[in-house]
Amino acid sequence: MTITSYGTGAYRAAKPNEFASTRAQFDDLTRQLDTKQRSTSYGDLGIDRRLSLDINGKISALDSWLSGIQLSDVNLKLSSQAVENFAKLTSETRNDMRSNSYVPSASGRSAPQVLAEEKFKQTLDLLNMAVNGRYLFSGRTSDTQPTANFDEIMNGDGAGKDGLKQLIEERRLADLGTGKMGRLTTGMNGTTTVLLSDADHDYGFKIGTIASIGAGISVQPETPTPAGSKAAFSIAVTDQPKPGDKVNITLKLPDGSEEQITLTARAPGTTGSNTDSFEIGADLDTTAANLKTSIDAALQNEAKTTLSAASSQVAAQNFFAGSLNNPPARVPGPDFENAIAPPTKVGAIDNTVIWYRGEDGILPLDKNDPALDTRTIVVSPSSRGTASVQIDQGQTVGTGARANEEAFRVGLAQFAIMTLENFPADEPSSQARYEAMTTRVSDKLGFGGKTQKPAEIITEFGSAQTALANAKERHESTKNYLTTTLAGVENVTTEEVATQILALQTRLQASYQVTSMLSRMSLTNYL
């Protein structure tokens, strides 16, 4: 700042606004003293204005990134906590289903089943969590509640769309078949040979292997395979078996599991269960007939127990795999017990509850197009990529999630199966059926093999949180440095301004005095 001095002759040369200009300088210094700001515009900063503009731009960008980081960090913490709670619920259910947990009850449901229903509802609440009007597990459609409610999922919407309960019943009927032996058929070839065959469709048991232990029984595959069958075997009684000889039949179930039936020969006149033994008859014909009776009984028992549990698993898996652009596959019916065509997705969008209503990353396809059953499902982007935040110039972190990720589908399916199944106390097969269910549920809730685990989702969220924390620390450090630098450009110190005000005040006062003296001077005073 320049303060114009007033010397000899200055009065005559002074401009009319000279004092006003000096007064303006005094007012500006007073403002600087109050605001600690060097100027009110970038233009008044002179050459430093470019530096000020550059630093302010960088600080503005940092503030934008820090704001996004803060909001995303809240969402990530809540999402991660939701998944941790879900993992805890699945772990508790596995512990509830410890061995020998079956206790007959009037309601037909065990304590672990009642608890599983509550866990199912809690999981739905966790997946429907919203923050600031944004659903955290709905993918890109953050304004859409991701899941249907509990009653609609289980029982349907009451307006023509079926729920999981109906889909399980349909699949169970299709797997059981009219003969109640898992769509397997038995017969006699002559009087000493039992024929066992399965059907060439997707339902019921499929024969794995059949083997005999002992010299009296011979097993041979039927070649060529009878029309309409995938496999067929002849079990011939060639000589009287000895007590303890065995026939082992391995069955493949629709859910990918296997069960083995073992029928042990017992001595004539002894008693035993036809589901695990057969009586040696008086002759080969009687022994063969007894063997067929036991095979039928064992198949019917397995169909009521393990096959029933497997049917529930397949139906629940199909149901929870469904989304708006990928409807669940259903058994064509209504003659479900004699169904031959494979489960189909065609038309299912109109008659089946879609439990997941969020964005699924799947390209839409005509709901009646047969290609629905053969299309290759490509989900894009990944669940984390459905929501992202830019945390630096070239760094973006994915923070999204979908309620239909594999881990959630598996957990919900198992909770739902336990909720829907019923085991009447007066039904002889209830305990075996319960144990078949709990074995499968416990195995699924272990998230083994290549199945996505809740821990994997938690790890991905944790990695994103770490990236946000590192970026936040880096940006805050940079912002502090830039703020300090900017203060040196735009701000003034109290001492500096006070000194300038004092100097200006002294000079202005002296000028006023000289001007006053000159204005009163006359020729007499001059002489």
Task: For residues 429 and 455, state if they share a domain.
Answer: yes
pTM assigned to the model: 0.84
Task: Give the three-state DSSP class for 409.
Answer: helix
User: For residue 490, what pLDDT is reported?
Assistant: 60
Q: Is residue 337, in this structure, part of any structural domain at all?
A: no
In a domain, 474, yes or no: no
Q: What is the 3-state secondary structure (H, E, C) of 472-514?
A: HHHHHHHHHHHHHHHHHHHECCHHHHHHHHHHHHHHHHHHHHH
Q: Same domain, yes or no, for 315 and 460?
A: yes
Instruction: Tell whether 348 and 323 lie within a shared domain.
Output: yes
- Residue 5 CB neighbour total at 10 angstroms: 9
Same domain, yes or no, for 448 and 325? yes
- Asked whether residue 484 is domain-assigned, the answer is no
Are residue 317 and residue 428 in the same domain, yes or no? yes
Q: What amino acid is encoded at 415 in this protein?
A: F
Shared domain for 384 and 448, answered yes or no, is yes
The secondary element (H helix, E strand) that includes residue 91 is helix 49-96
Q: Answer whether residue 119 is part of any domain.
A: yes
Q: Residue 216 in contact with residue 261, Cβ under 8 Å? A: no
Q: Which two tokens stand for residue 223?
A: 């070649």
Instruction: Please tell me the predicted confidence (pLDDT) of residue 367.
Output: 77
Q: Which of 110, 98, 100 is nearest to 442 (CA)?
A: 98
- Residue 476 in any domain: the answer is no
Task: Tell me the sheet residues that pair with 258.
Answer: 252
Specify whether 76 is located in the same domain as 103: yes
Bridge partners, 162 (sequence order): 352
CATH label of the domain that carries residue 130: 1.20.1330.10
Pairing of the two strands 388-392 and 395-398 = antiparallel
Cα(288)–Cα(445) distance, integer angstroms: 43
Q: How many angstroms separate the CA atoms of 115 and 441, rounded?
A: 14
Task: Give the pLDDT of residue 363.
Answer: 83
Residue 84 resides in a domain? yes
Which pLDDT score is estimated for 378? 77
- Where do the DSSP E strands lie in 132-216? 134-135, 185-188, 193-197, 206-213
pLDDT at 370: 79
Residue 69 gets the label, from left (phi > 0), alpha (psi -120 to 50) or beta, of alpha
C-beta separation of 153 from 146 below 8 A: no
Judge if 287 and 324 occupy the same domain.
no
Give the whole-angstrom CA distance, residue 264 versus residue 244.
Answer: 6
> With the C-alpha atoms ordered 523, 525, 526, 527, is the resulting torsion angle positive or negative?
positive
Region of 449 on the Ramachandran plot (φ > 0 left; ψ -120 to 50 alpha; else beta) = left
pLDDT score recorded for residue 381: 78
Specify the pLDDT at position 15: 47
- How far CA 396 is from CA of 384, 388, 474, 502, in Å, comes to 11, 6, 15, 54
441: nearest Cα among 149, 203, 110: 110
* Total domains, the chain: 3
CA–CA separation, 394 vs 527, rounded Å?
Answer: 83
Q: Which residues form the domain of 522?
A: 1-9+18-36+492-527
Could you tell me if 272 and 143 lie in one domain?
Answer: no
> Do the beta carbons of residue 208 and residue 257 sit within 8 Å?
no
522 and 460, same domain (yes or no): no
Q: Is residue 172 part of a domain?
A: no
Q: Could you tell me if 235 and 320 lie in one domain?
A: no
* pLDDT at site 502: 73
**pLDDT tens track, the chain, 527 positions:** 444 554 554 444 444 455 566 666 666 666 656 555 666 555 556 666 677 778 878 888 899 999 999 999 999 999 999 999 999 999 999 998 876 778 889 999 999 999 999 999 999 999 999 998 899 999 999 999 999 999 999 999 999 999 999 999 999 999 999 999 999 999 999 999 999 999 999 999 999 999 999 999 999 999 889 988 999 999 999 999 999 999 999 999 999 999 999 999 999 999 999 999 999 999 999 999 999 999 999 999 999 999 999 999 999 999 999 999 999 999 998 999 999 999 999 989 999 999 999 999 988 878 778 788 887 777 777 999 999 999 998 899 999 999 999 999 999 999 999 999 999 999 999 999 999 999 999 999 999 999 999 999 999 999 999 999 999 999 999 989 987 787 666 666 666 656 766 776 676 666 666 666 666 666 666 55
At 74, list the tokens. 């809240």
Q: What's the order of all strands across the beta sheet hosting 277-279?
A: 206-213, 246-252, 258-266, 277-279
Rounded to 5 degrees, φ, ψ at 132 are 55, 40
Has residue 272 been placed in a domain? yes
Same domain flag for 325 and 441: yes
Residue 141, both tokens: 């459609």
